[in-house]
Structure 1
Amino acid sequence: MPDNPPPLNAERDAIVAALAPVVDGIAATFGPVCEVVLHDYRRPEQSVVVVAGAVTGRSVGGAMSEIGLRMLARGDEAVDELNYLTRTKGGQLLKSSTIVLRDSTGAVFGALCVNVDVTAVQQAQAVLAGIGSIGGAACGGAAGAAATTTFGNDIDSVVEAIVDAHQLRQSRTWVQLDRTQRLELFRSLDEHGVFAVRRAVEQVAARLGISRASAYSYLSQARAVTGTPAPSDSASDGGAA
């Protein structure tokens, strides 16, 4: 993310400061099942600047999830994602909304995220469905479709989880993938914002068991297909401060 002039950074700082009490207010309104997180994308490895509630266990200074990485990858083309379902690794079903933050130029620089743990609601609906066959099929279908999301204070664990999830969907190890499938893997990882953070290429290479040079080569080829500028060592390892 490019540097911004001091006045623009001051404006963004003011927006973040103004939203801090909003975070606390929303969380207090919904109680212990709600978590509200304010992200500043100017520092993706430590994007959490304000957090209220403990649904995902994150804290100030923590990293964004893959949802945030996807927003970061979209840049100013990012749009609000409202009322979607996801699931934590611990099995909690979350109803979430991600609202992008823009400055006066329209540039996206952060997000306000609301996560509500609806696991108890789902369990109650299952009980009612068993007693009176009310709404069970619809609820079960939505919950089953919720993808598992990694929330953590460590960006490394988030990146590794995304790589693992993509490999799992392929149902094959790296050595079993042909060239087309390998390029598709890198294209998908790029679309999900994985390479927007520092050291991501090295992490992906280590996770896949390939060299750093090979990872850069596959990423360059994947980007050539989509028309995205090819990566450089400095851009991919330290361009998103």
Structure 2
Amino acid sequence: MKREQDAIIAALTPVVDGIVATLGSFCEVVVHDFRRPENSVVAIAGSVTGRSVGGAMSEIGMGILARGDQASDELNYVTRTGGGKLVKSSTMVLRDGDGTVFGALCVNLDITAVTQAHALIGQLAGLTSPAGMPTTTFGDDIDSVVDAVVDAHQLEQSKPWTELSREERLELFRGLDERGVFAVRRAVPQVAARLGISRASAYNYLSQARNESDTSQEQQA
């Protein structure tokens, strides 16, 4: 199905410019090829996230990659970039004739100015501001995205690695796996370095986390 997948991506490539030309400079449209997650951006128009062709997928993309053919479209979600922009996005998965998920078409809208105006009007009217949005990482470098996901999971634990119990450590690796981190090449050594542990330990924790997840699923079946 490689030829069919290539044809779908080729057909979508010129579409990104048309969408951005229609919606304006606050819009960014990206075509991702999940067959190359470290450099998944194969076409892009607009500059909301600052990426370019050859850039990496985001945390959202890694999560879709982890779900494989079970992935579904994620529409109208809002995140905050590391630089403070509020971005409203829709990610639509690409499938071939066999139903295999191999990429995504993403539309990102910079709604920072609109949100600021809304907040100002709300303050003048005495309304409460909306809760903060989750922060996500966009970048041409997949390593920065992986590091951001690892750091977020460590913050959720509220303790350094050395103080985590065995189950908490396995839960951390299980969570990273579910987010698609380990679908990226070289991710295990990078995670190990980020956590300050050996590569062997990282591979061991990942193996244990996956084995326990498989056992749990079998017991529930």
TM-score range, shorter chain: over 0.9
Match of 2:170 in 1: 183
Alignment-derived partner of residue 128 in structure 1: 121
* Match in the other structure for 2:218: none
**Unaligned ranges ≥5, structure 2:** 216-221
Q: Which moves more between the two structures, 49-58 or 16-25?
A: 16-25
Q: Deviations over 1:188-230 (max 9, x none)?
A: 00000000011111000010000111001100110011118xx
Match of 2:130 in 1: 140
Unaligned runs of 5+ in 1: 1-7, 229-241
The AA in structure 1 aligned to 2:10 is A
Report the equivalent of 1:92: 85
Match of 1:29 among 22, 25, 41: 22
In the TM superposition, residue 130 of structure 1 has moved relative to its aligned partner by 2.2
Q: Secondary structure at the match of 2:152?
A: helix
Q: Does 1:199 align with 2:186?
A: yes
Tell me the residue number matched to 1:70. 63
Residue 129 (structure 1) shift: 1.3
| 1:131 positional shift | 2.2
2:148 corresponds to which residue? Answer: 161
Distance 1:81 1:69 in 2: 13
Q: TM-score, normalised by structure 1?
A: 0.87
Alpha-carbon distance in 1 for matches of 2:146, 2:108? 21
State the Cα RMSD in Å: 1.1
Give the equivalent residue in structure 1 for 2:209: 222
Alpha-carbon distance in 1 for matches of 2:137, 2:18: 25
Distance (Å, rounded) in 2 between the aligned partners of 1:174 and 1:164: 11
Among candidates 188, 200, 213, match of residue 213 of structure 1: 200
Secondary structure of the 1:32 match is coil
SS in 2 for 1:227: helix
Match of 1:82 among 75, 97, 108: 75
Q: 2:14 is paired with a residue of what secondary structure?
A: helix
Amino acid at match of 1:162: V
Letter in 1 for 2:20: A
2:28 is matched by which residue type in structure 1? E
For 1:157 and 1:21, the matched residues in 2 are separated by 29
Amino acid at match of 1:112: L
Alpha-carbon distance in 2 for matches of 1:114, 1:211: 39
Match of 2:96 among 98, 103, 108: 103
Q: Once structures 1 and 2 are overlaid, which stretch shifts more, 21-30 or 116-125?
A: 21-30
Q: Which amino acid aligns with 1:167?
A: Q
User: What amino acid is the match of 2:52?
Assistant: S
